[in-house]
Structure 1
């Protein structure tokens, strides 16, 4: 009976092992099983990028300083009080008594040009810091996009090098087989072997570039990036911006946050000049005070008395040693500096907007040309490999065709990434870069391996931003 049951038991154990194997495989999960896209990293960077955090902290600080400057124009109320325990004695008497005094005062500027202009300056500075925070956010977003696509290009380059190495190795194996039958030249064998060795060295460098590009991304989000990066989908064809360059320049000059910050800086400098000139102006103050006291001369005890005073005070500056005039002259120079800085920023905005617009236009044409080049290179590579099997061409010709094909693939991927970066830059300088812009570009991405469009692929959807 035991002998009859043994095969059944062994069969049951084998079935259990087969069913348990997949369960054991699922227990090990690594970061490489997941993917991360541009929008997810954008959300992380907004919370982790020190540039963004510090810029918005400066904006909040400037807002509080504006509120502090406004407080100088509002009524100033203060209260005071004192309680005394007094021992008083002389040759004839000795006495101990208590006395106290309490007061309340209110002061209000009726006219104070310096305080008013200080508040106006603080408002301009607050707007400047808000615009600078928006500019820091936009700059950090473009930086993130650049690093993302640099990392993506590094991944692409590694996979393309590995694919080219496999293709070249396959050709080398064929040549080795032919050489063994004395049907191939030794020079063909050596050329292919040299190319395989060169690609092995390139693979080492490509792996290092992948690590370096991931480290650059980790700097912005504050954590290691071990997930796969979502790639540009193969069913998307990019189109250049439909608006004219003049329209983009108008948007940039009216909406660029860096230019807005410079304009607010000029307004703050103008207010600072007026504040400095206020040192020559008189000030008018109104105050009310009330006091209750039973303290007399030399801390003697007197009956309690209440006093109420209303005061209208005028202060006229006559001479301060020339310091006020010198300060005003220096503030005029500061104003000129702010105006020249604004003009420099305006010229930079015009230049960068123009560069980004023209780069986007040319990148679209480059993408189309790269597609055609890839189509021709792929067909040439297939034809060369077939011709090699018939002895029409040698291995060097096959090697050159394979190199041209993979170069065309790299050029196409790079042209796509350059186009996306130019769009980010264009929207950044035009003041239109937002989370919606990132989400629009993120819609072009999907998790997966390199999938360069082949000549026989269906027509991709046309997309423009």
Structure 2
């Protein structure tokens, strides 16, 4: 009897020594396991960079911002045109009948004219042109911001789709693992070597995972639909996953350096600075309504029509003159317009200050969050190693009768939770890095390429590391 009682304890001690001596590997069980049953990574053909290049040609936000920039350039050309000479030509013909006491005649008259007007001093037109020049800078920065926002949105949806794929594979792998445990417990229960509570606990977990798999499959479809919205086509191909040998690092630059760069390069901040300049030009243009205007006018005319539409010999007339207009009173509309423009300027200045504060806050948050994600990934790797070894130990201990099925169930849940936490932290890190680059004004093709280097290409892709153990009964 004593030997029978001590035998399980002895086996558990030997097992514990073996686990501690096992070599630690990232996201790998401590003992050998069959190859993963997930889809081969070589079938992954779409990566973040390829989808980014497609989205730049298909995303309506990017195309709309580009159109707004072209429109502002056209408006600036229009405003500049008002400063150049205005030339018009006119030709006309009349059928005239004149009747009086002396005569009753019908005749045709012709007139041809050309005129030129050149503004010599028009402050309102000049300030209007300056306003539209500033508007070009504003829409250019807004276009850059739209591209950065679209790139960030694409990255978030890309990794959300990856996370959905991972969650489905992990749920199915956990379902297979628990189903295997349930089969073993059912066999033991048939031999009266296991309790009914163990069978019920495992069966409940298997049923829960089966229901969860249904939700996960739906989430995969939903996440792909969100990704397809940006790319402009159905995204059905496999997505490249994060390389297992990827080395994550935020930057060698300090937080203060990132904040200072963001205050200089953030496109939203640049757009707000340009908006303040536009508002200032608008105020100057409004005040110009109180200023006089001076224009040069030249004209030439050829006609056979005289005074009171009388028939006359064809005559050429040439006129040169200066036109001075002095605004005296317009019912107070000019002053009211200036007051409104001043308030618009104050609003733009306050918006600029709000954006400046937001840039500092968001840059700081993104930097600190990304930096903490790196530390969290290291902790998650350690947690996964421990959870994996604990899961293996619980399954072997269950085979020796040292632990019950609930202990195996809890250990399996802890292992898969650790795998989910590690993948989630990796995705959070990359998306936070995109957020940091966006606020720092660094989201571009180069930044997408640098992140894409962490993704596996068609020749070096690894599937989701999920265990698929088949323990002996």
TM range (shorter): 0.7 to 0.9
Which residue of the partner structure matches residue 402 of structure 2?
392
Determine if contact 1:85/1:99 at 8 Å carries over to the other structure.
yes
Q: How has the CA–CA distance of structure 1 residues 69 and 205 changed in structure 2, closer, same or farther, with 3 Å as cutoff?
A: same
Determine if contact 1:381/1:405 at 8 Å carries over to the other structure.
yes
Determine whether 1:444 maps to 2:457. no
Aligned counterpart in structure 1 of residue 204 of structure 2, from 194, 219, 238: 194
Determine whether 1:144 maps to 2:157. no
Q: How has the CA–CA distance of structure 1 residues 145 and 123 changed in structure 2, closer, same or farther, with 3 Å as cutoff?
A: same
Determine whether 1:280 maps to 2:293. no
Give distance in 1, aligned partners of 2:99 and 2:350. Answer: 75
Greater RCO structure (CA 8 Å; 6+ sep): 2
Aligned length: 423
SS in 2 for 1:63: helix
Determine whether 1:81 maps to 2:94. no
Which residue of the partner structure matches residue 307 of structure 2?
297
Alignment of 1:221-232 (within 5 A): 221-232=231-242
Deviation at 1:88, TM superposition (A): 4.7
SS in 1 for 2:248: strand
Give distance in 2, aligned partners of 1:93 and 1:247. Answer: 94
Aligned Cα root-mean-square deviation (Å): 1.9
Determine if contact 1:234/1:452 at 8 Å carries over to the other structure.
no
Deviation at 1:108, TM superposition (A): 0.7
Determine if contact 2:387/2:414 at 8 Å carries over to the other structure.
yes
Deviation at 1:178, TM superposition (A): 2.0
Which residue of the partner structure matches residue 261 of structure 1?
271
Aligned counterpart in structure 2 of residue 315 of structure 1, from 308, 325, 331: 325
Which residue of the partner structure matches residue 338 of structure 1?
348
Q: Greater CA deviation, 369-378 or 126-135?
A: 126-135
Determine whether 1:363 maps to 2:340. no
Deviation at 1:307, TM superposition (A): 1.7
SS in 2 for 1:319: coil
Give distance in 2, aligned partners of 1:298 and 1:188. Answer: 115
Determine if contact 2:170/2:466 at 8 Å carries over to the other structure.
no
Determine whether 1:175 maps to 2:188. no
Deviation at 1:449, TM superposition (A): 5.8
Aligned counterpart in structure 1 of residue 246 of structure 2, from 236, 240, 250: 236
Structure 1, gaps ≥5 residues long = 1-31, 455-465
Which residue of the partner structure matches residue 159 of structure 1?
169
Per-residue Cα deviation, 1:166-195 (whole angstroms, up to 9, x for no partner): 111111122222222222222222211111
Give distance in 1, aligned partners of 2:267 and 2:387. Answer: 45
Determine if contact 1:241/1:360 at 8 Å carries over to the other structure.
no
Alignment of 1:12-27 (within 5 A): none
Which residue of the partner structure matches residue 3 of structure 1?
none
Alignment of 1:385-464 (within 5 A): 385-446=395-456, 450-452=463-465
Q: How has the CA–CA distance of structure 1 residues 430 and 111 changed in structure 2, closer, same or farther, with 3 Å as cutoff?
A: same
Give distance in 2, aligned partners of 1:315 and 1:95. Answer: 42
Give distance in 2, aligned partners of 1:384 and 1:201. Answer: 25
Q: Greater CA deviation, 146-155 or 55-64?
A: 55-64
SS in 2 for 1:84: strand
Aligned counterpart in structure 1 of residue 52 of structure 2, from 38, 42, 49: 42
Determine if contact 1:74/1:108 at 8 Å carries over to the other structure.
yes
Per-residue Cα deviation, 1:54-88 (whole angstroms, up to 9, x for no partner): 22211111111111111111111111122234455
Give distance in 1, aligned partners of 2:203 and 2:152. Answer: 42
Per-residue Cα deviation, 1:368-405 (whole angstroms, up to 9, x for no partner): 11111111111111111122211222211111111111
SS in 2 for 1:232: coil
Q: Greater CA deviation, 210-219 or 181-190?
A: 181-190
Give distance in 2, aligned partners of 1:234 and 1:435. Answer: 24
Deviation at 1:89, TM superposition (A): 5.6
Per-residue Cα deviation, 1:204-257 (whole angstroms, up to 9, x for no partner): 111111111112112212222221111111111211211011111111111111
Which residue of the partner structure matches residue 22 of structure 1?
none
Q: What is the TM-score of this pair, normalised by structure 2? A: 0.86
Determine if contact 1:234/1:451 at 8 Å carries over to the other structure.
no
Which residue of the partner structure matches residue 256 of structure 2?
246
Determine if contact 1:287/1:311 at 8 Å carries over to the other structure.
yes
Determine if contact 1:160/1:406 at 8 Å carries over to the other structure.
yes
Aligned counterpart in structure 2 of residue 218 of structure 1, from 222, 228, 237: 228
Per-residue Cα deviation, 1:405-448 (whole angstroms, up to 9, x for no partner): 11110000001000000110011000010011112212221255
